[in-house]
Amino acid sequence: MTALELRGIDKRFRAVHANKAVSLTVARGSVHGLIGENGAGKSTLMNVIYGFHRADAGEIRVQGKPVTIDSPQAAIAAGIGMVHQHFMLVENFTVLENIVLGAEGGRRLASGLAKARDELTRLAREYGLEVPLDAVVSELPVGLQQRVEILKALHRGADILILDEPTAVLAPQEADQLFRLLAHLRAQGKAVILVTHKLREIMAVTDRVTVMRHGAVVAEVATRETTPRELAEKMVGRAVLLQVEKGPARVGETLLNVDHLEVRDLHGVPRVKDVSFALRAGEIVGIAGVAGNGQSELLEALAGTLQPSRGEIRLEGRDLVREQLDPRARRRLGLAHVPEDRLHMGVIRSFSAQDNAILGYHDRPAYNRGLLVDRTAVRSDCEQKMRDYDVRPPNPKLSISAFSGGNQQKLVLAREIDADPRVLLVGQPTRGVDIGAIEFIHRRLVALRDAGKALLLVSVELDEILGLADRILVMNGGEIVGELARAEATEERLGLMMAGIKAEAAS
């Protein structure tokens, strides 16, 4: 039986035709995958289903009946729930308070909470979603926070559940738990739409998969009748390399030394604890870890945007901490940085692409004519970067906010790599990026390594770490809990270390 049917969904945002007569059928008791490049229209389609956008044309049917969905409340009333990639939870509320928020039961709050507690206990037992109802959400690991979101949707009567990039913040073991949960939801007759960039997940947990490209559906197949390579080609419209191609590292001199580094947050809590390592020319060192375990603070301290409370950072002998060198001074010494959060630290959204393409390097002689910025040189430079890095659309004057996440990321990488750094710090290089752009970014990073540069790569994607890194450091709770040569590393071993198990015990 059909749980959800979309008929000819069409949606425009001025000149952008985001969804083009999209038709899609999701069966009850199934997990349906939805994949496509950045800008393919997946998010717009899910936002239409959940009521954030209203379609210009087309029909939505739930359990065989036409419905009008013009708000998230209407979607919930129709039995549709959505778990967003970035959780919609109030961190200082308890699990129970988060779940009943907005549906507390009127004036009789105490009786409403008691009733909700009983119902949630039943749901948790039925679906294997055990979670401490009185725990404060901020104290829970991300895997349990995701359970809270799913439990909230089920509590509100969801028979159709949309999951947007659900494993982006999970360790491998947490992702495995999620997949077991999805299988349980399917067995209970629920319909799940899984939106993801990860083809391995599609192959592992879905029954059918729909592929979108340029706003339209280009394929819908039974998962067992296809392969990751076929799906990648349908997504991108060409053959795609699914594995990183690289030869052995030709390691040279040590370029960056980090000794006993400690970084504290605004409340004095240590986020990086006694971290030491070295980075050499001609190698990529990967840092694996679940998000929030000190990787972000480590990168920012190395780049100069956070001040360490203790320790040394030496770049070819220069003590960056003692000399109190700011990010601009570090760039001049050959230390470039692709930040994890491109929207808040990598670009200025109100600036054009060409102005973002020189951000941080705008004082270089190549971009200036006396006291004035040479606009012709800036535009020409951006045009070249766009050609070299396949940035679309190739319009330097367009606001950076008009570009997809993958194209923003390629422009940030172009800016930092073309500065010809000795050391490149790269945070989450392919977060939210489609498979075609991932292939391109990985080739560029390997080429930089092969040119004798040193790269420090932070990623929550174990496939990416295993594909790119020559050595792997694992962080948990702000500490480096182990180091592995690539030949020693497996996904299972890294996953155990990411959970806090020391390298020796994880072997």
- Residues 281, 225, single domain; the answer is no
Q: Give per-residue pLDDT as tens, 375-416.
A: 999 999 999 999 998 888 899 999 998 887 778 988 999 999
Closest CA to 346 of 272, 266, 403, 394: 403
Q: What percent of the chain has pLDDT over 70?
A: 95
Question: Does the residue 365 lie in any domain?
Answer: no
Question: Does the pLDDT at position 111 exceed 90?
Answer: no
- Residues 228, 273, single domain; the answer is no
Round to whole Å and give the CA distance between 422 and 83: 41
Last residue of a domain, one of 194, 210, 236: 236
Total domains, the chain: 2
Question: What's the pLDDT band for 288 if we cut at 50, 70, 90?
Answer: very high
User: Could you list the residue range(s) of the whole structural domain that residue 13 is in?
Assistant: 2-236
| pLDDT for residue 280 | 98
Residue 106, phi then psi, degrees to nearest 5: 75, -150
Instruction: Supply the mean pLDDT for the chain.
Output: 90
- Residues 222, 293, single domain; the answer is no
| pLDDT for residue 108 | 46
- Residues 58, 167, single domain; the answer is yes
Q: Give per-residue pLDDT as tens, 142-163.
A: 778 888 989 899 988 999 999 9
The whole model's pTM is what?
A: 0.73
Round to whole Å and give the CA distance between 44 and 46: 6
Round to whole Å and give the CA distance between 24 and 8: 9
| pLDDT for residue 413 | 94
| pLDDT for residue 173 | 72
| pLDDT for residue 506 | 61
Q: Give per-residue pLDDT as tens, 205-251.
A: 999 999 999 899 999 999 999 999 999 999 988 887 778 889 999 99
Q: Given strand 283-288, what is the order of strands in its sheet?
A: 335-338, 423-427, 454-459, 283-288, 471-476, 479-485
Contact criterion met (CB below 8 Å) for 326 and 274 = no
- Residues 131, 261, single domain; the answer is no
- Residues 212, 332, single domain; the answer is no
Kind of pairing, strands 479-485 and 471-476? antiparallel
| pLDDT for residue 275 | 98
Mean pLDDT comparison of 13-22, 24-33, 122-131, 133-142, highest-scoring range = 24-33
- Residues 268, 230, single domain; the answer is no
Contact criterion met (CB below 8 Å) for 286 and 472 = yes
- Residues 126, 209, single domain; the answer is yes
Q: What percent of the chain has pLDDT over 90?
A: 64
Question: Does the residue 363 lie in any domain?
Answer: no
Question: Does the residue 415 lie in any domain?
Answer: no
Closest CA to 112 of 101, 123, 122, 121: 101
Residue scoring higher pLDDT (37 or 9): 9
* DSSP category for residue 399: B
| pLDDT for residue 129 | 83
| pLDDT for residue 316 | 96
Q: What is the CATH number of the domain that holds 341?
A: 3.40.50.300
Structure tokens at 198: 């990860």
Round to whole Å and give the CA distance between 330 and 37: 35
Q: Give per-residue pLDDT as tens, 14-52.
A: 878 999 999 999 999 999 999 988 778 898 999 999 999
Q: Give strand ranges (E) for 146-196.
A: 160-164, 191-195
- Burial pattern 118-129, b for ≥16 Cβ within 10 A else e, equals eebeeebeebeb
| pLDDT for residue 139 | 85
Closest CA to 320 of 258, 265, 238: 258
List the alpha helices (DSSP H) in 389-434: 405-417
- Residues 102, 26, single domain; the answer is yes
Worst-scoring range by mean pLDDT, 125-129, 200-204, 271-275, 468-472? 125-129
